[in-house]
Structure formats: structure tokens, C-alpha cells
Structure 1
């Protein structure tokens, strides 16, 4: 196959590309330039998409002996991921930019261009497992958790959609640990073997999400109120808060029982942030929209016992799930706390990813 290997400049994508070469594929490396100010987007191991990352990706491609190109996808990234991030926070929701990036840029934009250029598949260094099941009606592609459970990224990949699964490769899905990847990179002579992982939101390299939102959205002072509607503090912008938040509230009036309070609701219409006791965060039912169902062999409109995960490395909760009136309804066996509209909810059956939806509301 002709394979387009996405090379971020990190160790995972370099080893994934190397494994694609070993498998006999005709591999071309491509580095996606996602930031319009790339030199500013790495501080230690914060952020990504810097000029340094591009150089590291080029050196890895040279070592593997494969062609290498840089594609400027910064407009796609700005128009979809960053703009969505700002609009979602403006609406009082809590988005996951990594989910949107995987949906719109790392697969949609990259795969669309790759297929148009005659490539058969896109290869990335994500930790996830793709399996092919032969059926009477042909091959079925399934997305599963990676063997390396602590690094598993199937949660952020679930939004891809079943139509993409036949055109992607995840060579690291069977690797048991990140250390094993680093050992393999060193054995191959790849200079990124000891490069630290990047973390946090890539376009907020200093990690100050509240500061970034304020710089983009401005200040909009309002009230912080308790469960009885009493004013207990003030804020400079409701968009800077998220459901479940405890720190940084700056409340001037303590709770009657002396217990800490948490953000329980963000009311954009009145520009109010609501706070209450931790018990007020308990969620028993989740309703999700924009549902992506990856399992054509399973009817989502019939009640199904499965697991639900609502954070990238969160715990899976047993639940009964069902698509009702185009909404993915998830009734949890035990309550979750601090779940906000805009987050991604992913449904698992064992290790297999069945579907994904964006949280619209909760009970």
C-alpha cells in the first residue's frame, strides 16, 4: 500500500512510520504544520507543532529513508479546532480540542488529501488497535483499546467514524508500554527516542487556559451564586469556568456547612456561574448528540449493556445505552461527577469502541 505517515516530531509517530516501512508499504512522511506561530508553541514538553518538532520529524524521515513533506494545515486547524474551542466555551460548554483535531484535521483533512493524491491509508502513532473481522458480507473494521492501557487513545479517536477505519494504520496498537517504543526508537537510531511527551492543549503552550480565553473573548464580569441564588462572589467571564471546578473560584462567602463548593452550572444567558456542594455534581443520565456509531453489526436503537468513558483517561462506567430520537442516551449504573456539556462520551463493549457522542445535557 501507499501510506502517508503523519510525523509529529515525536517518538511515537517516528516508530509508527518505521513499522510501516518494515511492513513493506510505500511510505511518505508528512508533518502537519498546525500553528500560525509555530516557534511559540513548545515550552519544555508543553505544546507541539513547533519548528523544533518539524526538524525532528525531518531527521526521523531521513533516518528511515522516506520522502518527507510539510503540509500547512494551520487554516484547517484554526477554522475547526481553535474556533470550535472558543465558541464552545462562549456557550458555557467544555470542549475537548484533541477530539476535534482528530476528527477534522488529523484524519479528515489529512486523509482527504492523501486519498486524492493516490495514497491508500494514513499511518499515525496513536495508541489504538484496529482489527479486521471477516463476515459473510465482507470485512468489518473495528476500533479497540490499545495493549498499552495507560496510553490508550481510542477515546479521542472514536469520533473518526466507521468509514475511515479501512484507511488508517495504528502500528503501535500492540506495543505494551511507552518504554518499549523508546527502546525500539533507540535501536533504530532515531534521535527522538528520549524526547519527552507533549501534553496540555497544544495551542495554549503555557497551560493558562483561562488567560487564553480572556485574551480571545475579553472580560465580561458577572455573579457567582449558590444553590439558593445568593451572590457569593464575582467573575470576569463565565467562559473561564467549567462544571466540577473547585479551585480559583475566589468566593467571598463560605458555605454554611464549611464544605467546599464546586461549579455546578454555567448560565450564559444571565452570565452567572452557579456553585454548590459536591453531591450536586452527581450525574446518572447522559444525553449526547452528533452520535458517531462505529459498529454496523450492533443496533444502537436497542438497549445495550456497555461501558461509558467521558474523559481521555477516565474510568469506564457500566451503563445501559440506547439511541433515542437521534440522541445517545446513557443510563449509568453509578453516578459520575463534574461532567459538562461539550465533553465527549465514548461507548465500549469490552475493548471495542462502539460509538461516541458529544454531551448535550445530563440528569
Structure 2
């Protein structure tokens, strides 16, 4: 079977390709260039990554293809990324990048190369499952729960999963580097990439200012509407943010300690006002419910309501027990067993039933209702 592996220059995709080669697949590596605006800067490492991929492919003994998806990335991912920030939401570009680039543009290109399957270095699993007389492909959590990336893959569909292999599904990260070192792959100790998908780790506000100009406005206390300071633009702030407000020395009200930190609690886009509260446990930062839109259910059908699932309202949050209280084709209302901190419009909420990722949607309004108290 011919498999095309998406290779980034990191250790995970290198070991994914190595394992497939060892398992007898006909493997081709594919390196995607997806960003060109400032590729010669200190924040983009495309050239260095390509050199690393070429070296890995040479050691493994597989062919390498290079493709430029910069236009697709800018049109399908980055444009949406900017629109969401401009609207006051906080998007997760890795989610859209996976569904639009890694498992659409890349998948289509791999099929043109004659591949039967594609593979990536994601920590996730896929299995063929037969139930009620129908066969479906399920997206599973990785065996290594500390590295599981199924959250970022919840927008995949049956056609995409049917063509996908995740070689690291049952491999622990601690073992991946050892496998790479034993095979003589020099990327075995390469630092994991972070930051915006394909754009890299960089000073985020300065980067965003290049595309979304400043729009100064007031920062006010949510509890009593006191003027606290000034912001440069609502799009540069997210719910639960603590750093960068420059209001740390302002005394709080009677319910908060004098030295408690201030956190972003809500945005009034119409009035261009940023509302902050004092104290990590302030009630305005806690939400028991949220409404999600732009839904995607991996099985092609919605899960049942009034059934206990778990969900992640953001990637780093541990799985939280919840129920789907109301569901339509376009929206889902999700109730959590315990209040969730800093639930943020624009982020994804992803639902699970045990190890199976069911899908999810984009959080619409959970933090915005804090404005009702102003």
C-alpha cells in the first residue's frame, strides 16, 4: 500500500514515516510550505525544516515531495483567522488548518500522487467500527493522554478518516525520541514546534497588528463600570487573559483582594469597551453552559441529547462531564456538571464518549453574557 506522510521537520512525523516503512508500506514523504509573508524572518523555519525532512527521508530511504500550499492556507485558514479576531472572538487556527490543509489540500495532492492513504505524526487514532448495520470510521484519543491531539482533529469527516493512518496512536512521546535516536535520525532531540499553525512562535500582538490596526478604547471594571485604563484593540485580548492589561496596580472592590490580578471577562464590540474583573475565581469567569455553532459530527450524525459525555471547552482543559441539553442542525447547548473557567467565544468545544471523539463546534456566546450584568 502506498502511503504519503506529511512531514514537518519534527521528530513526530519523522518517526511516523519510519514506523510505516518498517511495517512494509511504500512510503513517500511530503513537505508542505504554507506561509510566505515573512519566511526569511527569525520566526519561520521553513528552510531549516525542509533540510531536516530531506535528511530524515535519506536515512529512512524514502522519496520526498515538496508542495506549496501558501495560497490555500491564506485563503482557507488565515483569512478566517483574521475575521474571527476582528469580530472579537479567539479562533483556534490549528483546528481549521487540519481540516482545510492537512486533511484536504494535502489529502487531495496525495491522491494525485497515487497514494491509497495519508499519514501524519498526530497523537490520535482511527478505527473502523461496525454498529447497527453500518460501518464508520472513529477518531480515537491517543494512548499517550498527555499528548493526545484529537481535539484539533474534530472537524474531520468519514471520507478523510477512511484515508488516514496515525502511526503514533499507541506510541508514547517519551518513546518517540528514543525510536528516532536508535534509527539515527538527527531530529531525535529537536524542540517541538509551537505557535500558530505553520507561522511559528512569535510575539503574537505585534504579528496581529500587521493585519489588524489598533483601535484604542476603554478598559472598565465589569462589577461597577469604573474606568481602569485603555486597550489598543479588543482583538488583541481574550477571555481570561491576565497579562498585558497594565492595570495591575488598581485597587479592587470590597469582594476582591487589593492585590488580586485583573482578568479579561467580556468585550463590548459595539462600544469598543474591554471589561475586566479582579480575581481568578470571579463569577463572571465561570460558566456552566455554552452554546456552540458550526457543528461537525464525525460519524455524520448527531449524538443523542440527555446523555452523559465529556467535553473539552479548550485544549488544555481536562475532560469535563457534560450533557447536550438542546441540539439542532446548527447549534448545540452544552451543560457542564461543574462551572468552567474562561469559556471563550471562537474556541472549540469537543465532545467525547470514552475514547471516541464525537465532534464538536465553535463556542458562540458563553463569555458574552457577562455583559448583561453591566
**C-alpha displacement at 1:202, in angstroms?**
4.5
Asked if residue 254 in structure 1 is aligned to residue 258 in structure 2, the reply is no
Q: Deviations over 1:150-179 (max 9, x none)?
A: 11101101111233111111000001x212
State the partner residue of 1:283.
Answer: 287
1:315 pairs, out of 304, 313, 318, with 318
Asked if 1:12 corresponds to 2:15, the answer is: no
Q: 2:184 aligns with which of 189, 205, 213?
A: 189
Q: CA deviation at 1:254?
A: 2.6
Q: Which residue number corresponds to residue 332 of structure 2?
A: 328
Distance 1:203 1:21, change over 3 A: closer
Corresponding position of 1:35: 35
More divergent stretch after superposition (99-108 vs 244-253): 244-253
Aligned to 1:101: 97
Structure 2: 5+ residue runs without aligned partners?
370-374
1:350 to 349, 354, 357: 354
Alignment-derived partner of residue 372 in structure 2: none
Q: Note the residue ranges of structure 1 that are not aligned, 5 or more in a row.
A: 43-47
SS in 1 for 2:30: strand
Pair 1:51-2:47 in alignment? yes
Q: Does 1:201 align with 2:204?
A: no
Task: Compute the TM-score of the two structures, normalised by the length of structure 2.
Answer: 0.90
Relative distance call for 1:233 and 1:185 in structure 2 (3 A) is: same
The aligned residue for residue 229 of structure 2 is: 233
Find the counterpart in structure 2 of residue 89 from structure 1. 85
| Residue-by-residue CA offset, 1:105-146 (whole Å, 9 max, x unaligned) | 111111122223432211000000112224463532111110
TM-score (norm 1): 0.92
1:59 to partner: Cα distance: 1.0
In the alignment, structure 1 residue 132 sits paired with structure 2 residue 128: yes
Q: Give the direction of change, closer, same or farther, for the CA distance of 1:206–1:107 in structure 2 (3 Å limit).
A: closer
- What is the alpha-carbon distance in structure 2 between the residues aligned to residue 304 and residue 295 of structure 1? 17
Question: Match of 2:142?
Answer: 146
Alignment coverage as a number of residue pairs: 356
CA RMSD of superposed structures (Å): 1.9
Secondary structure of residue in 2 paired with 1:247? coil
Deviation sequence 1:317-357 (CA, Å, 0-9, x none): 10002523521221000011111100011001111101110
In 2: Cα distance, 1:135 partner to 1:308 partner? 23
Can you list the C-alpha shifts for 1:170-206, whole angstroms capped at 9, x where unaligned?
A: 000001x212111111121212111111112256545
